[in-house]
Amino acid sequence: MPTARPTVLLHIGTMKSGTTYLQGLLWSNRVALREAGVLVPGRRDHDQGYAARDVLHGETIADPAMRARTAGAWAGLTAEMLSFPGRSIFSMEFLSFADEERVGHVVASLAAADVQVILTVRDALRTLPAQWQTMCRTGRAIPWPRFAASVGAAVASDRYVGPAAHAFRRTQHVPRMLAAWRAWVPADRLHVVTVPPSESDPRLLWRRFASVVGVDPDLAVAPPVSRNPSLGYPSADLMRRINLRLGETNQFDYNQTLKSHLAPALEQRAALEARTPLDLATHRLASRWNHIVRDAVVRSGAQVVGDLDELPVLLSPARIAGAVPVLDPPSREELLAAAAPARDTLVKLIERRVRSFEASGSRAPAAPEPLDLRMSGPTRPDRWDGTDRPVRAAVTELAALSAHAMRLRRLREPGTTG
């Protein structure tokens, strides 16, 4: 008697469209979902990220430790999904980066299953600053005004030149993503889920997503195991300035230090800080991009869950009134207020990593340059007031602390990804 083919649902992104929230819900409720016939593959919550890197980049991954960690990860999760007699949901926004050739490779590796694709899309007025913040917390050094202007010029000309425009095309270019996946997946198996406005019921996105997966949304009662809160504008810009001072770094060392430790500490300041400002030009850019996305979704024939009107194409009076005259950088006071807890975070991280050396019976290497690791209490924003340029002095110190923390991790754990 023939058995039913398994179904694999690939949630491919886009970035900054509630993916972390959905992934957290899936993972924290994976037992209940499996009992309902839906598999969330992997033993740990980061396994799907490793698998996506493996299928997209494989042997071209530059970092040896990351290459070792990801090798065979896609094949392992593919085997798990294909052997499951129901539906499997693989959610990783990195898949949205794939070109048509790589999409073909992904779909071919799942040929024994019925493949469906889910693309979540969000109002560009929310994704633009969120994408810039992601760049700041992953090592890039492009100022917000330049990022917004570069993306605006790229959208207007349809020529994506330069790091800001390139990053936008890679992470947010819904027409490109739909074209690549539509070449391999029929329209009736391609789903676009719109992200509700921020004032909506927080679980509305999950209910829409669950309707595509074909599972009762009320099965997911455990809260997400992970979250991805925003940085305030000063903290994001502070990280950008540190990145500029650091220059080129090993991405994995950076992720294990600034992304995993400094950024989460600064996230706690979000309620105290201004949001990334939006001028009228950025509002117009968002409206124009929403129009392009809506047109691409309609032309693709994808099944829409939600409402494309949640991608506004007209500037409302409220949005116009909320636009700032110009995209100014954060003030000196704002940056120093963020720099103070940033220093505390980095000093404590260095202390932990030094203790790790001592616990193993070895001596931690000294920093290449003198560092002041003394702490008699929380660092004050006026720590750098005696210098000619306090913000530059703060960024210089924070970059030196970051570099030493990265060096300690690399020397303490060579060839590992922990």
Between these two residues, 412 and 380, which has the higher pLDDT value? 380
Handedness of CA 88, 115, 79, 61 (dihedral sign): negative
Q: What is the pLDDT of residues 159-209, one digit of tens each?
A: 999 999 999 999 999 999 999 999 999 999 999 999 999 899 989 999 999
d(CA 293, CA 285): 12
pLDDT value at position 169?
96
Same domain, 357 and 406: yes
**Which residue is listed with tokens 């963020």?**
338
Asked if residue 189 and residue 263 are part of one domain, the reply reads no
Tens of pLDDT, residue by residue over 318-375, are 999 999 999 999 999 999 999 999 999 999 999 999 999 999 888 999 988 899 999 9
pLDDT of 307: 97
Going by C-alpha positions, the residue among 116, 109, 129, 79 that lies closest to residue 303 is 116
For the sheet with 114-121, list strands across it.
Answer: 38-39, 87-91, 7-13, 114-121, 190-194, 303-305
Mean residue pLDDT across the chain: 94
376 within some domain: yes
pLDDT score at 64: 72
Query: Which tokens belong to 127?
Result: 């994704």
Nearest-angstrom CA–CA distance, 210 and 306: 12
Measure the CA–CA gap between 25 and 60, rounded to whole angstroms.
32
Q: Is the peptide bond before 14 cis (omega within 30 degrees of 0)?
A: yes
Q: Is the dihedral of CA 312, 314, 318, 323 positive or negative?
A: positive
Angle at 93 between CA 118 and CA 83, to 5 degrees: 65
Q: How confident is the model at residue 418 (pLDDT cuts 50, 70, 90)?
A: very low
Per the structure block, which two tokens stand in for 154?
């790229």
Same structural domain for residues 63 and 200?
yes
What is the pLDDT, as a whole number, of residue 66?
Answer: 73
Average pLDDT on 33-49 reads: 95
**pLDDT of 225:** 67
pTM of the model: 0.92
Q: Which of the two residues, 256 and 67, has the higher pLDDT score?
A: 256
Q: Is residue 134 part of a domain?
A: no
Output the pLDDT for position 288. 98
Contact 140, 243 (CB under 8 A): yes
Domain extent, residue 60, equals 7-123+170-219
Rounded CA gap, 256 and 102, in Å? 28
| In-domain check, residue 158 | no
Pairing assessment for the beta strands 190-194 and 87-91 based on DSSP bridges: unpaired
> Do 252 and 370 sit in the same domain of this protein?
yes
Report if residue 163 sits inside a domain. Answer: no
Question: Is 47 within 8 Å of 153 (Cβ atoms)?
Answer: no
User: Quick one: angle between helices 144-157 and 233-246, nearest 10?
Assistant: 90
Does residue 228 carry a pLDDT above 70?
no
Q: Taking 80 as the threshold, does the pLDDT of residue 41 lie above it? A: yes
For residues 30 and 102, state if they share a domain. yes
The answer for 311, left when phi > 0, alpha when psi is -120 to 50, beta otherwise, is: beta
Query: Which residue bears the tokens 């694999």?
Result: 8
| CATH code of the domain containing 93 | 3.40.50.300
What pLDDT score was predicted for residue 227?
62
- Residues 72 and 205 reside in one and the same domain: yes
Q: Is the pLDDT reported for residue 417 higher than 60?
A: no
Number of domains in the chain: 2
What percentage of the chain exceeds 70 in pLDDT?
96
Residues 51 and 16 in one domain: yes
* Residue 270 reports pLDDT greater than 90: yes
Q: Examine the domain organization and report whether 241 and 201 are in the same domain.
A: no
pLDDT score for 165: 97
Per-residue pLDDT at 2 exceeds 60:
no
CA nearest to 190, candidates 79, 102, 299, 54: 299
253: in domain: yes
pLDDT at 100 over 70: yes
Tell me the average pLDDT across 235-251. 96
Q: Are residues 48 and 106 in the same domain?
A: yes
pLDDT at 69: 78
**Tell me, what DSSP letter sits at residue 184?**
T
Residue 220, pLDDT > 70, answer yes
What is the mean predicted confidence (pLDDT) over 219-224? 89
